[in-house]
């Protein structure tokens, strides 16, 4: 049996060290992201074509305001009728799944990547990632940060500036750092 490639380890959510293959994937995403961010706002068709090339999936009528940034792109899947505002950052080292009708405000960060606590492993450049899942009809307020491994349930609202470090159920409003549920919807 052969040893797994670093890219396979990354995709399987295991510790990995970025190698040449992962580096090529990253550079591809950076080139596409630069091109997306350069498309005039009036040319939605060209922007959508580039987003479709970059992303793992893009639902109908999902709209983006630039600038945006992705690590790899192909790990991110958007549902239909969503809206992503300026300054969106998606470190999609692991899969990011975003449901239908999701509203993402300015400067939101979805961060799947994490690094080992062990100092030697960090010095040796090991890293890993855990997937993020955002349900249907979620609203992420301005500056929200969603941390690795988090799932946010359908219809949930996360208030501006919140840092989501653990799962949130459906039909709640959560705010703060760390985000905590303040009421049900």
Architecture of the 6-184 domain: 3 Solenoid (2.160)
The whole-model pTM stands at 0.96
Query: Within a 10 A sphere around the Cβ of 103, how many other Cβ atoms?
Result: 16
Query: Within a 10 A sphere around the Cβ of 50, how many other Cβ atoms?
Result: 19
How is 118-172 classified by DSSP, letter by letter? SHHHHHTT-BEE--EEE-TT-EE-TT-EE-TT-EE-TT-EE-TT-EE-S-B-SSE
What is the rounded distance in angstroms from the CA atom of residue 78 to the CA atom of residue 136?
10
- pLDDT tens-place string over residues 27-80: 999 999 999 999 999 999 999 999 999 999 999 999 999 999 999 999 999 999
3-state class (DSSP) for residue 181: strand
Give mean pLDDT, residues 119-142: 97
Residue 115 annotated as catalytic: yes
Domain ranges of the chain: 6-184
Residue 174 is predicted with a pLDDT of: 98
**pLDDT class for 1, splitting at 50, 70, 90?**
very low
Residue 4 is predicted with a pLDDT of: 87
- pLDDT tens-place string over residues 23-32: 999 999 999 9
How is 56-88 classified by DSSP, letter by letter? SEE-TT-EE-S-EEESSSTTEEE-SS-EE-TTE
Closest CA to 39 of 27, 24, 26, 52: 52
Which H or E run includes 180?
A: strand 180-184
Closest CA to 46 of 92, 54, 96: 54
3-state class (DSSP) for residue 111: strand
Radius of gyration of the chain (CA): 17
Q: Which of 115, 125, 180, 183 is catalytic?
A: 115
Residue holding tokens 């929200």? 144
Q: Which two tokens stand for residue 129?
A: 């990632």
DSSP bridge partners of 175: 180
Residue 2 is predicted with a pLDDT of: 59
């Amino acid at each position: 049996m052969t040893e797994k490639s670093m890219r396979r380890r990354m995709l399987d959510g295991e510790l990995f060290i970025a190698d040449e293959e992962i580096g090529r994937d990253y550079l591809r995403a950076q080139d596409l992201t630069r091109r997306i961010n350069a498309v005039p706002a009036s040319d939605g068709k060209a922007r959508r074509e580039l987003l479709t090339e970059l992303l793992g999936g893009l639902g109908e009528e999902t709209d983006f305001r630039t600038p945006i940034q992705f690590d790899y792109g192909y790990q991110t899947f958007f549902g239909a009728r969503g809206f992503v505002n300026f300054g969106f950052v998606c470190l999609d080292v692991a899969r990011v799944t975003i449901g239908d009708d999701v509203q993402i405000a300015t400067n939101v960060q979805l961060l799947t990547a994490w690094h080992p606590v062990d100092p030697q492993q960090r010095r040796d450049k090991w890293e890993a990632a855990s997937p993020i899942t955002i349900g249907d009809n979620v609203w992420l307020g301005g500056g929200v940060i969603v941390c690795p491994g988090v799932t946010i349930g359908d219809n949930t609202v996360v208030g501006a500036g919140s840092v989501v470090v653990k799962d949130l159920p459906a039909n709640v409003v959560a705010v703060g750092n760390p985000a905590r549920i303040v009421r049900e919807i």
